[in-house]
Amino acid sequence: MNIKSVDRKGNEATVVVEIDKELMEKGVNAAYLKARKQITVPGFRKGKAPRKMIETMYGTHVFYEDGLEEIFPEVYEFAIAKQEDFKAIGRPSLTDMQISEENIVTLTLTTEVYPEVTLGQYKGLEIEKSEATVSDAQVQAELDRMAQNVASTETVERAAQMGDTANIDFEGFDNGVPFDGGKGDNFDLKLGSGQFVPGFEEQVVGMTAGEEKDINITFPENYHGDLAGKSVVFHVKLNKVTVTIVPEQDDEFAKDVSEFDTLEALKADIRAKALENAQKQIDSAFEQTAVEKAAENTTVDMPKALVESELDTQMERFAYQLQMSGYSMEQYAQMMGGDVNTMRNAFRPGAEKQAKISVTLEKIVEVEGITASDEEIEEEFASLAKQYELDVDKVKEMVPMEELTGSIKTRKAVKVIVDSAVAVAPKVEEAAEEETEA
């Protein structure tokens, strides 16, 4: 093969390459051998027609297009992949093919290429960062949650009150006719929870076990279906009333729910863990904001192929999450009132943002001369093996080396940004003024 010219304009490159006769013949013959089984020529059994006979009937170059497909990996490697002037993105398109009288094939290949990236400020960025704090109310909320987890229930022989759980049988009637979805047996209703139509739970209050009662209810005007705004009657039977007994929060409680002997020690542990978690969230937000700001300062004409590739990744990741919940992408899109294309467009702004972050980090890797050492690579393989409970050798077979080293270098680029960033206090006063104006 011989490259006749390379022309790059912006994010697109055009390569004109001349294909050797021998290589072209290799591809054409491979295409013929695949296609002849489906070709019938008078005088020959199906699949037995000579190539020259088929070319005489259908044209000298009948197998050239398929032949190019056969040798395309070699053409791509030579004409596109090994180029030092650019880095191709995606599969190039064939924009022209010329065949000379000597049967020499000249191809014009056009491909999107990795963009020119100009970094802006990425070191010493001023990023707002708040102090990690944990309030007494947060500690108390966690104690209350723990207490609810070990709470018990007890049946009481008295009239139902707000806060009780009423076990009921019920059936709804619209002008004396039962309606769909209006019936339930042995249903546990937490009075005051707002689970039922407004006015229902209040009328259960005061009932006692074994009592039956008709409850008149008017559905809200914005209620879904045919019941919106209708007045109906629910026939209700109260089976039993139970109360939740929440343990007192004292030293004995602390011993029951933790390894601590006192309530104060438990509170201190809750506060420490909450503070650690809050700090992690703050640090994560600080890192994300710093990286996003560095990307915002970068100048780049983003190729569509990079955005589409990131978009594909995000859609695949979301589809996997949906699958774990028992939904397909199509089902979820329909529930949201759209289709998969609508969802893809909704993901696009995020993909564009992430694509710019990616090229920014790659440029920082280049500018800073960031590398991945053999030791770091082995540690990364070991970490993945532990995470997925696999042998290291198996992980090495599964994870491409280029992908692994790229991940290491990207993390180092993030560290360059974050370690040099300057934490500044949030502009609370300005934020408060903006809220007041709004």
Q: For residue 118, give both structure tokens.
A: 């100009």
Q: For residue 11, give both structure tokens.
A: 């994010």
Q: Is 356 left (phi over 0), alpha (psi -120 to 50) or beta?
A: alpha
The whole-angstrom separation of Cα 406 and Cα 402 is 6
For 397-431, b where at least 16 C-beta lie within 10 A, e where not — what string? eebeeeebbbebbbebbbebbbeebeeeeeeeeee
Residue 428 predicted with pLDDT over 80: no
The three-state secondary structure class of 122 is: coil
Beta-strand relationship, 422-424 and 126-128 = parallel
The whole-angstrom separation of Cα 236 and Cα 213 is 5
For 106-116, b where at least 16 C-beta lie within 10 A, e where not — what string? ebbbebbbbbe
Could you give all domains of the chain from N- to C-terminal order, each with its CATH number? 2-114 (3.30.70.1050), 152-245 (3.10.50.40), 263-437 (1.10.3120.10)
| Segment holding 241, helix H or strand E | strand 231-245
The whole-angstrom separation of Cα 290 and Cα 413 is 12
The alpha carbon dihedral of 385, 390, 391, 395 has a sign of: negative
The highest-confidence range among 105-114, 389-398, 407-416, by mean pLDDT, is 407-416
Tens of pLDDT, residues 299-332: 999 999 899 999 999 999 999 999 998 999 999 8
Tens of pLDDT, residues 268-278: 999 999 999 99
The whole-angstrom separation of Cα 124 and Cα 12 is 34
* Confidence class for position 430, pLDDT limits 50, 70, 90: low
Residue 76 predicted with pLDDT over 80: yes
Residue 246 predicted with pLDDT over 90: yes
Q: Following DSSP, what letter does each residue of 371-385 receive, concatenated? A: ---HHHHHHHHHHHH
Question: Facing residues of 174 across strands?
Answer: 177
The whole-angstrom separation of Cα 242 and Cα 156 is 6
* Confidence class for position 65, pLDDT limits 50, 70, 90: confident
Beta-strand relationship, 165-174 and 299-300 = unpaired
Of residues 83 and 374, the one with the higher pLDDT is 374
Question: Facing residues of 89 across strands?
Answer: 112
Question: Which of 45-49, 63-67, 113-117 is the least confident region?
Answer: 45-49
Q: Give the predicted TM-score (pTM) of the model.
A: 0.74
Q: Is residue 199 a contact partner of residue 218, using CB atoms and an 8 Å limit?
A: yes
CA distances from 200 to 190, 196, 233, 348 (A): 12, 6, 10, 46
Q: Which residues contact 194 (CB under 8 A, 6 or more apart)?
A: 201
Residue 44 phi/psi, 5° resolution? Answer: -130, 145
Residue 50 predicted with pLDDT over 90: no
Q: What is the mean pLDDT of residues 169-195?
A: 93
Tens of pLDDT, residues 136-174: 999 999 999 999 999 999 999 999 999 999 999 999 999
Residue 406 predicted with pLDDT over 80: yes
CA-based angle 27:28:31, to the nearest 5? 90
- Helices 51-58 & 21-35, crossing angle to 10 degrees? 90
Beta-strand relationship, 231-245 and 152-156 = antiparallel
Among candidates 38, 70, 40, which has minimal Cα distance to 57? 40
Residue 213 is predicted with a pLDDT of 96
Q: For residue 202, give both structure tokens.
A: 């209040």
Residue 364 is predicted with a pLDDT of 98
Q: Following DSSP, what letter does each residue of 271-297 receive, concatenated? A: HHHHHHHHHHHHHHHHHHHHHHHHHHT
Tens of pLDDT, residues 94-108: 899 888 877 789 999
Residue 431 predicted with pLDDT over 50: no
The whole-angstrom separation of Cα 362 and Cα 185 is 62
CA distances from 86 to 9, 13, 94, 111 (A): 11, 8, 18, 10
The whole-angstrom separation of Cα 128 and Cα 283 is 11
Residue 434 is predicted with a pLDDT of 52
Residue 436 is predicted with a pLDDT of 54
Q: Is residue 336 a contact partner of residue 343, using CB atoms and an 8 Å limit?
A: yes
Among candidates 201, 199, 216, which has minimal Cα distance to 168? 201
Residue 437 predicted with pLDDT over 80: no
Largest CA distance in the chain: 104
Q: Is residue 183 a contact partner of residue 174, using CB atoms and an 8 Å limit?
A: no
Residue 123 is predicted with a pLDDT of 98
Query: What is the percent of the chain with per-residue pLDDT over 90, rounded to a whole number?
Result: 71
- Give Rg (Cα) of the chain: 35
Residue 404 predicted with pLDDT over 70: yes
Q: What is the mean pLDDT of residues 262-290?
A: 97
Q: Which residues contact 292 (CB under 8 A, 6 or more apart)?
A: 353, 357
Tens of pLDDT, residues 326-355: 999 999 888 888 899 999 999 999 999 999
Q: Quote the strand ranges of 329-421, DSSP E.
A: none
Q: What is the DSSP letter of 42?
A: T
Residue 86 is predicted with a pLDDT of 87
Residue 432 predicted with pLDDT over 80: no
